[in-house]
Structure 1
């Protein structure tokens, strides 16, 4: 455990590295705009997000201005820098480093606020994980509305809810809620900060999902298929109950450290797994207007392997996405097993934050897939 002076030194080092990085990027962009901004910042980070927000196939930077291309064929052979919606190896590494730096900064903040050593923070932040997935569906819905000429969120504001910028948006909102909740507790307005924190998360989640319901009632582009919610949430809860009962009976040491948090972790990843199975294999059977395809490489890889191993006579009956659910459950169990009592005793804040991140990785995409299908987007 760090001493007070060591903690301050670590915070100063972190702040210094962040400050130097920001100054280097801003200074480089001002001094060498074509090389640093156009060739790096815009090319790998802002350009793909802007192209996605504009609904373009790609974007090109010419003479300090951005030109959006809506013809896929016209994107081929353009002179760099060219940005396409999605991720690149450079951007993925950049976002991964940013995530690590942000988590370290969050640990320092929690230590300054003297919170995060117990499990209550995990449960208080649970609504925000659902909120992140729901907010992403708002962007999906607005894309559908823009194609019909009545989008409600103009550029560049819609970039705030486009991946990966949306992660920073949700992170900033959650951080503000944490600070505000702690301030309320310190001033004696509430007894514990966890209650207003969970309340704020529940309110923003309700507003977001409520907005989607309004769109379902008032627009043709957004519909409502409540059976998806029943199947995914009910299926995930059933899978979690069976898994948890088996662990309790045959391998109780797996959840000895996480306890109730372990069940939530498994449920969050079960939501992701069941949503994929329901949407990819049973969309038409569940009454959806069209079929969905897997967008993530892991999902596509599992579906391809299943299709190659099992004959069509079997996959036509049981589908090809169900192994993804098994993979998610096994991975969740492995994570739960790793977090034993010793980790919580030695580094409780790191353990809680890592478990929050692990749950968000499953529950965020799962919520988005579920709600996107439930609203027919």
Structure 2
């Protein structure tokens, strides 16, 4: 019975690309919470400062996760290795690669080969993104197409909506703290996800669907994927307010890690969905 349960809710969805269910969604949410806590405990023993610089230097690895997910979407990898690039396994792959890059950069800094591990850390992530993006462009030009107008539309929609939301928070609600670059990245990442989803489902010539439980239910109920913006706003406003209250009184390291986790769950899917639509996969 346990084997059938695991196969139904965890193995088969990965193997056959099935939509998320309430069971696996809650499971992955719990794993995320536990992972954040364990990473927090580990980082406390390394002496690595988890601050604004650390978060911003990690952004390339978040983008990398989205790009590698599209590499799997292309079907170019035909061996069982491609399962490693499917959610949730890809999170573990990116995590271990990120940790390796972080430790290598830290070692180079201590050896005096680089002035700051942030430079090497972000550089490794940026290089990996460049290689992945180059492959995807090659694949698109060779086997499909590269529709630049799609990325321009989605990025423009994300930028405009992010600016509007940020402006409302900053000048109407008087939340001066949203000027922190990390909050700006959080807002943009979440609205990039909403922009890509909305465009893909309602406007793209190919047929895309919302795989997540809550988002899929909202789209079905409203009849439009642009309702994803409402979902994102319903999360962003209370989340940022609560995060800021915790920031004043809580642990700064844990605060940064929680914020990083929120950036990941919006930014990575947003990148993946946008690039898929550019390549028509």
Relative to the length of structure 1, the TM-score reads: 0.68
Aligned-pair RMSD on alpha carbons?
A: 2.4
Q: 1:299 aligns with which of 215, 220, 236?
A: 215
Q: 1:260 aligns with which of 181, 193, 207?
A: 181
What is the alpha-carbon distance in structure 1 between the residues aligned to residue 24 and residue 273 of structure 2?
A: 23
Deviation at 1:158, TM superposition (A): 1.0
| Contact 2:20–2:211 (8 Å) recurs in 1 | no
- Structure 1 residue 127 and structure 2 residue 127: aligned? no
* Equivalent position of 1:179 in the other structure: 103
- Structure 1 residue 243 and structure 2 residue 165: aligned? yes
Q: Which moved more, 1:89-98 or 1:106-115?
A: 89-98
Deviation at 1:231, TM superposition (A): 0.8
* Structure 2 residue ranges without an equivalent (≥5): none
What is the alpha-carbon distance in structure 2 between the residues aligned to residue 342 and residue 139 of structure 1?
A: 38
| Contact 1:216–1:375 (8 Å) recurs in 2 | yes
Where do residues 94-105 of structure 1 align in structure 2 (5 Å cutoff)?
94-105=27-38
Where do residues 205-354 of structure 1 align in structure 2 (5 Å cutoff)?
205-219=129-143, 222-253=144-175, 255-256=176-177, 259-284=180-205, 290-307=206-223, 320-340=224-244, 343=247, 346-354=250-258
What is the alpha-carbon distance in structure 1 between the residues aligned to residue 45 and residue 26 of structure 2?
A: 29
What is the alpha-carbon distance in structure 1 between the residues aligned to residue 214 and residue 156 of structure 2?
A: 24
What is the alpha-carbon distance in structure 2 between the residues aligned to residue 345 and residue 112 of structure 1?
A: 22
Higher relative contact order (CA 8 A, sep 6+): 2
Report the CA distance shift for 1:88/1:271 in structure 2 as closer, same or farther (over 3 A): closer
Larger helix proportion, structure 1 or 2?
2
Deviation at 1:341, TM superposition (A): 6.2
- Structure 1 residue 355 and structure 2 residue 271: aligned? no
Q: Which moved more, 1:258-267 or 1:347-356?
A: 258-267
Deviation at 1:344, TM superposition (A): 5.5
SS at match of 1:294: coil
| Contact 2:246–2:255 (8 Å) recurs in 1 | no
What is the alpha-carbon distance in structure 2 between the residues aligned to residue 112 and residue 121 of structure 1?
A: 16
Relative to the length of structure 2, the TM-score reads: 0.90
What is the alpha-carbon distance in structure 2 between the residues aligned to residue 101 and residue 263 of structure 1?
A: 26
Q: Deviations over 1:304-327 (max 9, x none)?
A: 2223xxxxxxxxxxxx22221132
What is the alpha-carbon distance in structure 2 between the residues aligned to residue 215 and residue 165 of structure 1?
A: 23
Report the CA distance shift for 1:232/1:119 in structure 2 as closer, same or farther (over 3 A): same
Where do residues 10-25 of structure 1 align in structure 2 (5 Å cutoff)?
none
Deviation at 1:189, TM superposition (A): 1.6
